[in-house]
Structure 1
Amino acid sequence: MTKIWGFDLSEMHWSAFGSKEMMDPRYHLRKQRIIVYKIAMSVSLAAECTATYSLSKYNSHQSHIESYPFPSASPVQATENNESLIRAAISTIVFCVFVATVFGADFFFLLFFPRRRYPLWWHRLRSGAAVVVMLGVFASAVASTVVIATQEATIYGPGVTEDVRQQVIQAYARPPLRYRTWPQNIAWAVLVWLAFALTAASTALLLRASAYDKRYGPEERAEGVARDYDDGSERERITPAPEKTTKGRRGEVGSEKGAVGV
């Protein structure tokens, strides 16, 4: 029985990926967290990929413009300014990777070690990381939307006139200088907002589950069992089941322990 950092590796098995085990209702909010985490990570990956695609295309576009074959005697040295889009893309990529890191790790532990109870420092670290990542994705969504909706790349440099600019644009028409006219950029903005909404939902579920785990443990409380923490103790208070009644021969009602019959 191999253990690493207290984790029993014998608990890791392929059947954990089956829907029956993943949707096991014995653990508080586990099913909901697994579903929302998976969707959030998938959408964040899609946003990351579209941002990476735009970043790559505009970097290549800039390189093509800088290497445009102007006549050797021409003093023109053209380049492209697309820094705002590059920064927004990098921000989106970084925080979408963090979404996969934070919620992917929690997904892993939920999948293989659902019964494990964690120390307080881990709950605080995990909750803090989730909130920071959520805010980062929100900032990336706002920045990406503003840049794509309102800005465009510019061609400038020594000797660059409007005629030179149009000449270069005709040679390298894609991606367009105006960001909002390229469908890939629109897809990026839409996906990063969806990623934020799902990351916020994942964070809310994580915080709720963390608060529950710290108080009760990962398993759902049994019906009729409640805990009283008003005095700081951890005593269980058992709520008695309702007493069954039976009817006597003359319609008189009594308890099951001693039904009345005359």
Structure 2
Amino acid sequence: MTVIWGLGLHEIHYSKFKSSYMFNRAYHLRRTKMIVYQLAMILCVCSESVGTAAFSDYLDQQSEVQGQHPGVKIHNNGFIGAASYNIFVGIAVAFIFGAAFFFDLFWPERHECKHVRVSWKISAVVVTVMMLSSALALTVCHLINFGGVRY
């Protein structure tokens, strides 16, 4: 069978997506890891989806109002920037935690060197801090009310 980076591709099966396999206690902290991975990905996808919808609505509103009234300027660039950053961070979180999810699901017995384990931890901390900063940026945009209409 095919082996890439020491990981056998023959170990990839649909049956590993069953909850009886995913949440078993055969491996150390397996249940906790799977819950954290899935929770991180689900919450970030929800945040990213809401951010994308709001981002699209704000852009449509800005172009529609400025198209109908050329002298009017809508200032919502702060929110648009924060929503764009939120989308970027959501993709980064899905990439890091999604990769960890699939590696732990398909190859739970793999052996990683110390540098790889440290890089997983650093990546998780970095994307967590990025998501926190994204949430704070969106909150500040709403609290300060960056949006406004000027004639």
Instruction: Give TM class, smaller chain.
Output: over 0.9
* Percent of paired sites with the same residue: 35
- Per the alignment, residue 18 of structure 1 pairs with 18
- Per the alignment, residue 108 of structure 2 pairs with 114
Residue deviations 1:123-172 (CA, integer Å, cap 9, x gap):
1211111111011111111111111122142223xxx3xxxxxxxxxxxx
- Per the alignment, residue 97 of structure 1 pairs with 91
Distance 1:42 1:24 in 2: 21
Distance 2:146 2:10 in 1: 55
Which runs of 5 or more residues in structure 1 are unaligned? Answer: 71-75, 161-262
Distance 1:115 1:102 in 2: 19
- Per the alignment, residue 28 of structure 1 pairs with 28
CA RMSD of aligned residues (A): 1.3
Higher relative contact order (CA 8 A, sep 6+): 2
- Give, in angstroms, the shift of residue 79 of structure 1: 2.3
Residue deviations 1:212-238 (CA, integer Å, cap 9, x gap):
xxxxxxxxxxxxxxxxxxxxxxxxxxx
- Per the alignment, residue 125 of structure 2 pairs with 131
Task: Note if 1:49 corresponds to 2:59.
Answer: no
Q: How many residues end up aligned between the 2 structures?
A: 151
Distance 1:152 1:11 in 2: 51
- TM-score normalized with structure 2 length: 0.94
Task: Note if 1:146 corresponds to 2:147.
Answer: no
Looking at secondary structure, tell me which structure has more helix per residue: 2
Runs of 4+ aligned residues of structure 1 deviating over 6 Å after TM superposition are none
Choose 1 or 2 for highest CA Rg: 1
